[in-house]
Amino acid sequence: MKRGTGNPTVLKVAVEAALGAGALLMASYGKLKRSDIKTKSKNDFVTKLDGLAEELIISKIKKNFPDHGILAEETGKSPGLQTFWVIDPLDGTSNYIHQIPMFSVSIGVIENGQLKAGVVYDPVHRELFTAQKGEGAFLNKRRIRVTTVKRLADALMTTGIPFRARDRFDEYMASFRAISLASVGLRRAGSAALDLAYVACGRFDGFWELDLSPWDIAAGAVLVQEAGGKISDMWGKADYLKNGDVLASNGLIHHDLQKITSHIFTPTHRDKLCLSA
């Protein structure tokens, strides 16, 4: 995790990059022009700030770790040795465009195929979520933990509507109905990285979403695990970064959630991560 004595850790660089990107996003928040927004695909938008924030993050990483690889939403993949940075410069772009104050910067670090560190930064509320494997999870340097809710019937859940996975929408709606009826209620914020961070700090008891990308998940997954929770795909396997189908919880309700999701959803056998390619 360290380059050597006196050199910054990956977590320190990730924090600096996330804070810098957050400041850049806030400087243009509410000031976008129509020409600043482009459509990548149906219901999937990108702004010029996505690109600028990503450039800032990558520049900070390459200055400190020139031999590390990058997997980023806007610029794609660049090769590295054993360490990859998985970056979403603006998770919740539609919220950002519409001035809904629920978006974040997400930076995860994968070393030798294992998640090692994660940072999720909410620049509107100045909430900085950080975690490093084996060292716990924190919100603005205060230790955070998942909830102790034991019954799904008492759990407050959060989800994301899978706008990319239209062919699986019927399955998703079946899961929405089942989990809604089984739990105390549902929320939908529009930033998967924040949803995972909120599970980690105990604001939600669980989260599920389909067809996410690695940069939506990587940082938040470290947060959930280091806060004492559990994250898997819909069938209880550790393939969520590859297939993008994510189930996260405080761990205590995970089995009950998984019984619902594994029964409803059909596996896809995708590999969105593809670090070996």
| CA distance to 165, 186, 218, 246, per residue, from 213 (Å) | 12, 22, 9, 10
| pLDDT at residue 78, rounded to an integer | 74
224 with 190, same domain? yes
14 with 140, same domain? yes
Which residues form the domain of 178?
A: 152-264
Over residues 203-259, the pLDDT tens digits come to: 999 999 999 999 999 999 999 999 999 999 999 999 999 999 999 999 999 999 999
Compute CA 174 distance to the chain's CA centroid, rounded to the nearest angstrom: 24
| Residue 111 domain-assigned (yes or no) | yes
* Domain boundary, last residue among 144, 167, 183: 144
24 with 111, same domain? yes
6 pLDDT exceeds 70? no
Instruction: Please count the other Cβ atoms lying within 10 Å of the Cβ belonging to residue 79.
Output: 11
164 with 50, same domain? no
CATH, residue 245: 3.40.190.80
Contact in structure between 271 and 242 (CB atoms under 8 Å): yes
| Residue 274 domain-assigned (yes or no) | no
| pLDDT mean over 160-185 | 92
126 with 240, same domain? no
Over residues 7-56, the pLDDT tens digits come to: 579 999 999 999 999 999 999 898 777 766 666 555 445 678 888 999 99
CATH, residue 111: 3.30.540.10
61 with 32, same domain? yes
137 with 161, same domain? no
DSSP string over 74-95: TTEEE--SSEEEEEEEEE-HHH
Contact in structure between 84 and 72 (CB atoms under 8 Å): no
156 with 140, same domain? no
| Residue 2 domain-assigned (yes or no) | no
| Residue 100 domain-assigned (yes or no) | yes
Note the pTM of the prediction, 2 decimals: 0.92
| Residue 97 domain-assigned (yes or no) | yes
140 with 213, same domain? no
Structural domain total, the chain: 2
